[in-house]
Structure 1
Amino acid sequence: MTRAFSGWTEQAFELLLQLEGTPSQEAREKRRKDRERLVRQPMIALLNDVADADQAYEDFSVWGFRKDPWWWQHQVAVIRIARNVEIGLRFDLDGLRIKGGWSYPDPGQVPLFRTAVAAQGSGPELVRAIEALGAQGYEITGDTMKRMPRGHDAGHPRADLLRYRSVSAARPLGGDCAQHTSALVDAVLRAAQELEPLLSWLAGHVTVPGSRRRPA
C-alpha cells in the first residue's frame, strides 16, 4: 500500500527553527501557510497511514494553531483509546516523540485506578506493564500525591503507584534520518504495540462505565 506520509523535510525543521524563542504574532502569521504545509499536514498524513494499518488507531486529532508560541513550535496530535486514555505524538526540532497513558482524569476515575492498583490480580499486571516499558527506554511520568491517599496503607507493596493520579510512558521515535522517511509510520505502530499492555489496562480499569471518549 502506498503511504501518504514520506517524512518531514529539512524545510520543516528550518521553519521550526525560525519560530524558536518568542516570535511575534506578525512573524508567526507570516509563516502560517508554510507551517501548515510543512509541519501539520505531514502529521495528518502520518496518522492516516497509522489508521490505515490498524483501525484501532483511527480516532485521532491533530491540533491546529493557538496563541501561545509553544503551539507553533510543537506539532501535537492524539489517538484516543478510551476516555482520557490516549496516545500522544509531538513533533518539534528534536523529532517525533510518542507518549501513551491516562491523563486529565474525570471524577471517579482516580478511585477506580487505585482500587485496581491495590487489587491482587490487576495491580501486579500494571506493575509488569510499566516495568516492561521502562526496560524498553520509556520514561514513566504522572501526577502524584505527596502523601498516601486516604484509605490506603503506606506499607502496601504498590504504595508508589497508589499515589498516582495519572500515568504515562514516553520516548523519542526514530533517529535523525528516520524523521525524513515513511519509516516513522512503522515506528509509531511498533511503539503503539509496546504501549498496548499499559493502555489496555487503563482502558479496562480506569474507564468510568457509560463514559465516552474525550471529544476532539
Structure 2
Amino acid sequence: MEFTGFPVAALDFYDDLEVDNTKSFWEANKAVYAEQVRAPMVALTDALAPEFGEAKVFRPYRDVRFAKDKTPYKTHQGAFVGVGPATGWYVEVAAPGVRVGGGVYEVSGDRLHRLREAMVHDKAGKLLQRILRDLERGGFEVAGERLKSAPRGYDRDHPRIDLLRMKTVLGMRSYGFEPFVHTVELLDRVREDWRKLRPLVSWIAEATS
C-alpha cells in the first residue's frame, strides 16, 4: 500500500473512541481502525524504513493489569523505530492529529548512569546542549521526565543541572490536524523532522551504549 496521508476518518475514529472506549464500539469499528488507522501507519513506516529502519507499530490494546484506568484501548496509534533500548524515532496519530518525536523515553540503572556521565562530560554535555537548542530553535519541544532536584551524587550547581535532572530526553513536534496530514506531504514532513532529530537520537544511543 502506498502512503497517501491519514484520512480524516482516522482522527474521527479516535474522537469517537475517547467518548466510547468499549469493546462494543471497537468491535463495531474494527474495519475503520484496520483500514483508516493501522494500514496508513504501516504504509508510512514502510516508506521510511529504507532510511531509518523497520518500525514497530504498536498494538491498540492497553495493559490494564495494574492500572486504575481500565479502559481497554489506546486513544492513539503509535509507531517506533529503535536504534537501542527505548531510543529512536516516533510517530503518532490521535484525535488531536499527528505528532513526531525522537530521543529516549525510558532509561534506568546503568544506562541512566551512563547518560548522566555523558551530560557531565564537558565536550559531550555541551554538544547535547547545542543539539537541544537547535531543535528548539527549529520549532521542536524538548520534553521528558524531570527530577525536581539534582540527582543523587551530582552538584545542584552544576552548569548543566537542567540536563542532569532529565530522566528521559525527547524532541517532539505536533502537526495537529493541518491539512497536509491527510496527504502524501506528511511523509516528507516526517522524514525531514526525523532527520533533524537524528543528532539527538545518535547522541543518546552512543551515550547509553
| Aligned twin of 1:58 | 53
Aligned counterparts of 2:175 and 2:21: Cα–Cα separation in 1:
28
Preserved contact between residue 174 and residue 184 of structure 1 (Cα < 8 Å): no
Given candidates 43, 46, 52, the residue that maps to 1:45 is 43
Over 3 Å counting, the alpha-carbon distance change for 1:23 and 1:174 in structure 2 is closer
Runs of 4+ in structure 1 deviating by more than 4 angstroms, as ranges, are none
Aligned counterparts of 2:203 and 2:32: Cα–Cα separation in 1:
40
Preserved contact between residue 126 and residue 198 of structure 1 (Cα < 8 Å): yes
Preserved contact between residue 11 and residue 38 of structure 1 (Cα < 8 Å): yes
Q: Shift in Å at residue 12 of structure 1?
A: 2.5
Given candidates 175, 193, 196, the residue that maps to 2:195 is 193
Over 3 Å counting, the alpha-carbon distance change for 1:163 and 1:23 in structure 2 is closer
User: Letter of the aligned partner of 1:82 in structure 2?
Assistant: G
Instruction: Give 3-state SS (helix, strand or coil) of 1:5's partner.
Output: coil
Given candidates 123, 136, 149, the residue that maps to 1:134 is 136
Given candidates 126, 141, 154, the residue that maps to 2:156 is 154
| Aligned twin of 2:10 | 12
RMSD of Structure 2 on Structure 1 (CA): 1.8
Aligned counterparts of 2:87 and 2:206: Cα–Cα separation in 1:
10
**Stretches of structure 1 lacking an aligned partner (at least 5 in a row):** 208-216
Matching of residues 108-187 of structure 1 within 5 Å = 108-173=110-175, 176-187=178-189
State the TM-score, normalized to the length of structure 1.
0.86
Preserved contact between residue 134 and residue 140 of structure 1 (Cα < 8 Å): yes
Aligned counterparts of 2:22 and 2:176: Cα–Cα separation in 1:
32
1:77 and 2:72 matched: no
Preserved contact between residue 88 and residue 103 of structure 2 (Cα < 8 Å): yes
Q: Shift in Å at residue 23 of structure 1?
A: 3.1
| Aligned twin of 2:67 | none
Instruction: Give 3-state SS (helix, strand or coil) of 1:191's partner.
Output: helix
Aligned counterparts of 1:147 and 1:174: Cα–Cα separation in 2:
33
Instruction: Give 3-state SS (helix, strand or coil) of 2:19's partner.
Output: coil
Aligned counterparts of 2:45 and 2:143: Cα–Cα separation in 1:
24
Q: Shift in Å at residue 150 of structure 1?
A: 2.5
Report which stretch shifted further, 117-126 or 8-17.
Answer: 8-17
Aligned counterparts of 2:9 and 2:128: Cα–Cα separation in 1:
42
- The total of aligned residue pairs comes to 201
Preserved contact between residue 96 and residue 176 of structure 2 (Cα < 8 Å): no
User: Letter of the aligned partner of 2:77 in structure 1?
Assistant: Q
User: Letter of the aligned partner of 1:49 in structure 2?
Assistant: A
**Stretches of structure 2 lacking an aligned partner (at least 5 in a row):** 63-70
| Aligned twin of 1:213 | none
Q: Shift in Å at residue 79 of structure 1?
A: 0.9
Aligned counterparts of 1:175 and 1:150: Cα–Cα separation in 2:
42
Identity across matched positions, percent: 28
